[in-house]
Amino acid sequence: MNGIGVIAVTARGRAAAERLVAAWPGEARHVTAERPADALRAAFTECGAVVSFLAIGATVRVLAPLLADKTADTPVVCVDEATQHAVAVLGGHHGANDLAHRVSEVLGSRPVVTTASDAVSVTPLDSYGDDAGLTIEDRGPLAAVGAAVLSGEAVRIEGAGEWPLPPLPDNVAPAVPADRAAAVVRVSDRTGEAAAPGVPTLTYRPPSLVVGVGAARGVSAGEVGRLVDQTLRDEGLAPGSVRGVATVDLKADEEGILAAARERGWEVTCYPAADLSGMEVPNPSETVRAEVGTPSVAEAAALRCAAEAGRGGGAVAGAGEGVRGSDIGAELVAAKRKSDNATAAVARLAPRGRLAVVGLGPGARDLATPRAVAELRRASVVVGLDQYLDQVRDLLRPGTRVVASGLGQEEERARTAVEEARTGAAVALIGSGDAGVYAMASPALDFAGADIDVVGVPGITAAVSASNLLGAPLGHDHAYISLSDLHTPWEAIERRLRAAAEGDFTVCFYNPRSKKRDWQLTRALEILAEHRPPDTPVGHVRQASREGERATMSTLDRMLAGGVDDVDMFTVVIVGSSASRTVAGRFVTPRGYRWSG
């Protein structure tokens, strides 16, 4: 018997076991026997993997006589009573490490993995691509393929290239010849692709297909379902890759279509006839046009829906007449077929790449958000400035392609990231602080079209990390001003400085001073000094949360009397408003509310 056997004896253990069984229906089951040791032995011999809520010592003692071969023994994970730890005890490399992670996701425990660290940071196959909508066709070969991947054997990968998937280590490559592969990972919406005998092959179904359906009023669900199933079967297309059904909105309440889709777990999307009539299709019909206002329902709706979900995303909206699928990233893979009362067609989409614009925070690892770290580990290509990449290299999963560049090549870096995403890849473009504050997000989004998905991950920007070291200077309205006049004329900067001075904003200066730009900060402080007292607090922080961090409190007049000398490009300068004060050495800008009376 396959599946996961769960063993528990105490009440708390049983409650946790039930949570696993509920989380993995059809996969996990509670194995019981009169004596717990018998249940454990039975699970070990009968199941594909075991989760034991007995102590590690007890588990190992019971199983010891049954252990034979580390590559063949059933993987075992032990979880403590308080569900704090899920320990991969046996068969780490062929399933237990992954299982410890899966258990932890359900129970909120911490996975404990004691095999080599490179192996654990490899993208786990059991959740590979799940956020891009990939599903595993048959989990059977998972353990064997996972073992081949983790043990560095030559594994062939097919069809993954165009999907925004996380990286796999270098031993997993499209170039591995089929006849030399120890295992195969296949991303495909086609059925009937035979696996070589004896080579474990793991098939993922990408959400790449849309079934277009048309029907006469009153059609039965059985008829629609049969036509759709037959169409997929005849064309060798996997039902597991169908992301949904599309039709014209006149059919939004056509119970036969809705029920057939519901039975198969597919969503139905409906389009106004006007949105379909412009699509160029192989089998238009004037009779259909006269009835519903578009010459094609099944083919046009399938293409349109596939385009929207795929690379055509933005282009398809507002497209006029004569729109070809190929123009909007969709292709018809099954032309219209008819039964007595229904029509069906299938379109395939070109997957959208994914660009994550990730702010790493000011420097310290614990000031990068968990989400930023997750995005780095999700990307197969990471683009950034070499100094930031060095900060995070140890976090990247094996197989990640790193595109590093030097200072000043911002436009090129942004363009590279977007172009990589356009090929369908999962790309992370990284920057320090927040990637949208005086950083890479704007040039990247200037290049990015509607054909890719863009995800922004916020980071703690320099002004915020500096303000926390200084006290509470940002307690009321404040402005960020970059003093770099490399790409902005100084007159424009000065106009904003005057406005901020007159508006009595607390001001944070980024890019305050460099060897070549040595007068701008003094000029800026002079402008502010025209509007606020000489003892206005000024704080500056160099290398916030990095090695050599230094936070200094000063005042406007002291800064103007030579205090700017220790300010450089690794420093952020915060000038208080006229209400800011120094309290016990800390920079405080009072909130504007009247707290009392």
* Residue 391 is a binding residue for ligand SAH (CB under 6 A): no
353-359/381-385 β-pairing: unpaired
Please, which residue, 434 or 451, has the CB nearer to ligand SAH?
Answer: 434
Please, which residue, 113 or 429, has the CB nearer to ligand SAH?
Answer: 429
Mapping DSSP onto H, E and C, the string for 80-98 reads CCCCCEEEEEECHHHCHHH
Token couple for 132: 């891009």
Axis-axis angle for helices 96-107, 11-23 (nearest 10): 100
Smallest gap from residue 488 Cβ to ligand SAH (A): 13
**Which region, judged by CB under 6 A, interacts with ligand SAH, from 230-238, 394-402, 416-424, 544-552?**
544-552
Please, which residue, 490 or 570, has the CB nearer to ligand SAH?
Answer: 570
Please, which residue, 109 or 461, has the CB nearer to ligand SAH?
Answer: 461
* Residue 541 is a binding residue for ligand SAH (CB under 6 A): yes
| Three-state secondary structure call for residue 54 | coil
Smallest gap from residue 526 Cβ to ligand SAH (A): 19
> What is the pattern of x (binds ligand SAH, CB under 6 A) and - over residues 485-524?
-------------------------xxx------------
**Which region, judged by CB under 6 A, interacts with ligand SAH, from 98-106, 315-323, 447-455, 459-467?**
459-467
Please, which residue, 231 or 465, has the CB nearer to ligand SAH?
Answer: 465
| Three-state secondary structure call for residue 381 | strand
Calculate Rg over the CA atoms of the chain: 30
* Residue 363 is a binding residue for ligand SAH (CB under 6 A): yes
**Nearest-angstrom CA–CA distance, 570 and 407:** 14
In DSSP notation, 431-491 reads ESB-TTSSSTHHHHHHH--TTEEEEEE----HHHHHHHHHEETTSS-EEEEE---SSS-HH
Please, which residue, 80 or 375, has the CB nearer to ligand SAH?
Answer: 375
Please, which residue, 319 or 544, has the CB nearer to ligand SAH?
Answer: 544
Please, which residue, 128 or 509, has the CB nearer to ligand SAH?
Answer: 509
Q: How many residues bind ligand SAH (CB under 6 A)?
A: 25
> What is the pattern of x (binds ligand SAH, CB under 6 A) and - over residues 566-585?
---xxxx-------------
Contact between residue 501 and residue 552 where contact means Cβ atoms under 8 Å apart: no
Q: Which residue has the tokens 């010891």?
A: 64
* Residue 544 is a binding residue for ligand SAH (CB under 6 A): yes
Q: Which of 362, 384, 424, 537 binds ligand SAH (CB under 6 A)?
A: 362
**Nearest-angstrom CA–CA distance, 365 and 379:** 19
> What is the pattern of x (binds ligand SAH, CB under 6 A) and - over residues 427-456?
----xxxx--xxx-----------------
Smallest gap from residue 454 Cβ to ligand SAH (A): 17
581-583/537-542 β-pairing: unpaired
**Nearest-angstrom CA–CA distance, 502 and 528:** 8
**Nearest-angstrom CA–CA distance, 466 and 431:** 17
Which DSSP helix (H) or strand (E) runs through 314?
helix 313-316
**Nearest-angstrom CA–CA distance, 163 and 310:** 11
Handedness of CA 199, 204, 209, 215 (dihedral sign): positive
Smallest gap from residue 583 Cβ to ligand SAH (A): 23
**Which region, judged by CB under 6 A, interacts with ligand SAH, from 208-216, 217-225, 387-395, 540-548?**
540-548
- The footprint of ligand SAH (CB under 6 A) covers 362-363, 431-434, 437-439, 461-462, 466, 510-512, 541-546, 569-572
